[in-house]
Amino acid sequence: MNLPVAPTRLPAADLDRVLRAASVAAAQDTDTALADLLPDLTGAERADIARHLVFDHTAVLVFPDSLEGLGEELRRRGLRPGPITPSVVVRDRLARRYGALVRDVPVGITHIAAGDRSVEVFALPVPPGSPLQAVAADERAAEHEAHHAFATTAPGTVVTAGLRALLQERGGAVPDGGGHNSHENVTVLYFRTRANRRFELRLPGRHDLLPDPAATLLTTLTGAWATQAVATMAELRLADHLAAEPGLGAGPLADLTGTDPDALRRLLRYLAGLGLVTCAGDAYHLTAAGERLRTGTEFSLRPLALLYGGPFYDSFAGLTHAVRTGQEAFAHRYGQHHFAYFADRPALGGLFHRAMAASAEMFAPVPHLVDFSAARRVVDVGGGNGALLGRLLRAHPHLEGVLLERPEALAAAREELRAAGAEARCAFVEGDFTESVPADGDVYLLSRVLHDWDDDRCRTLLATCAAAARPGARLLVVERLLPPREGTPSPAVAWDVHMLCNVGGRERHEAHYRALLTEAGFTPGACHALPLSAFLLEAVRTGR
């Protein structure tokens, strides 16, 4: 005799969530769903993405008393569910969050029609009085499993790779796991948006597209090895030798560099994996990235490679100290702040200034972004070797410059300005910019200076500049800016940790700089993007 199945009770809150999800699924199309999830995508980018995928469904996780009779329960509520099948992917995600409590609990999945699309309903059975009630409460509040889903219309390897790159690099989506559901024979890739919402890509069949977490971590852990390999390539001048004679083998290169042929071959193999050289048999060639390690070329990054592979590499071993104390690791390890340490060691000081000059590519647009026609006197405060000032003087012959720097930096600055043909139009002033800066400038430059210091020192420096500048004088600030949204990939995020570790300074958001400038008596203006992830922020001295 077959006993009747007890009716499944679906809590009213869960039914309401299903009905709201159905309303959303029926109302949105692919373009509106993408615009809602990823507002950074342009209309053209959304249209291109929509050529390869379609908004398929929205999803919600509910908590009936049991899976038995769930379909009938949903039909009694006026919905049209499909068959209930196991959901391996969601069960595994829940198990990672809640451990043994849900590891052996079956999770069901069914689809409910919603116009041309559907609602994917995941169901975790939660009997009355079960400890899973706490899981249900947490999941309803956090909506971990709620998401939109897009099905690919051309799920080949190239299209899938392109979609993932566009969604992540332009849309800001972050991979959030996934896997293969054998019951549906579909591979799902989950992503999180900057607003912490989730969506998935559905690919028919089985695809091994998910990175192994352990392999990902190991690749990250070996980043220090990559730094040293690049520094060794720079120290041995491999780029110079391969530029002079492309296609050299490991043996001839070992003769030129005084190295062991077998060891050098192993290094070259690693450098090929890093994308700095290519290898055909025993013939090696530079890539575009490797070219940037040549000496004597404009914007060569070779000094930066030596600096990052030298004292800055060593100081990062003290990052834990910096995080625990908020104090820079460089001084902890070397006994001096890095500016003083380099000043006492001319060879290192010279390397530091050459490394800073290696990033001068960011200055290239500056002379043409700002109107200098009414300006006469440009004061570069802490301008290093004068790379930015030299560009301005070369581009605008009517300008005269003043460079304020420490004594050990001025020699390099004179050479830079001489090479720019502007030494005669520049005064070189030794001084401490926290105490005073030359007065009566029409334009003041602070290029990669403020990020070296904490907010209190920045306030002092900006107040000093404000005291020297007459009303209407302009201040140009060049810095890397932290992205406005947390979790957005940006080189400034890494540089921020570098500043913490090595100088005790920090990278800042644009709004942070604007607040500091306003407090000091400047009115912030336009902000321009520059090469190498830098920005130019304009400000004007207000009336006193």
- For 432, other C-beta atoms within 10 Å of its C-beta total 11
- Closest CA relative to residue 502, chosen from 371, 312, 356: 312
Please tell me the distance from the alpha carbon of residue 498 to that of residue 227, in angstroms, as a whole number.
14
- Residue partners of 160: CB distance under 8 A and separation at least 6: 152, 201, 203, 207, 209
Beta strand residue intervals within 115-185, DSSP E: 117-123, 147-152, 174-181
Active site residue 338: no
- Contact in structure between 460 and 516 (CB atoms under 8 Å): no
Q: Which residues of 454-476 are buried (b: 16+ CB within 10 A; e: fewer)?
A: eeeebeebbebbbebbeeebbbb
Are 485 and 194 within 8 A, CB to CB? Answer: yes
Q: Which of 147, 180, 353, 451 is catalytic?
A: 451
In sequence order, what are the residues at sequence separation of 6 or more whose Cβ sits closer than 8 angstroms to the Cβ of residue 273?
A: none
| Angle at CA of residue 52, ends 83 and 20, nearest 5° | 45
468 phi, psi to nearest 5 deg: -85, -25
**Measured distance CA(188)–CA(501) in Å, rounded:** 40
Q: Which two tokens stand for residue 99?
A: 């451990």
Active site residues: 451
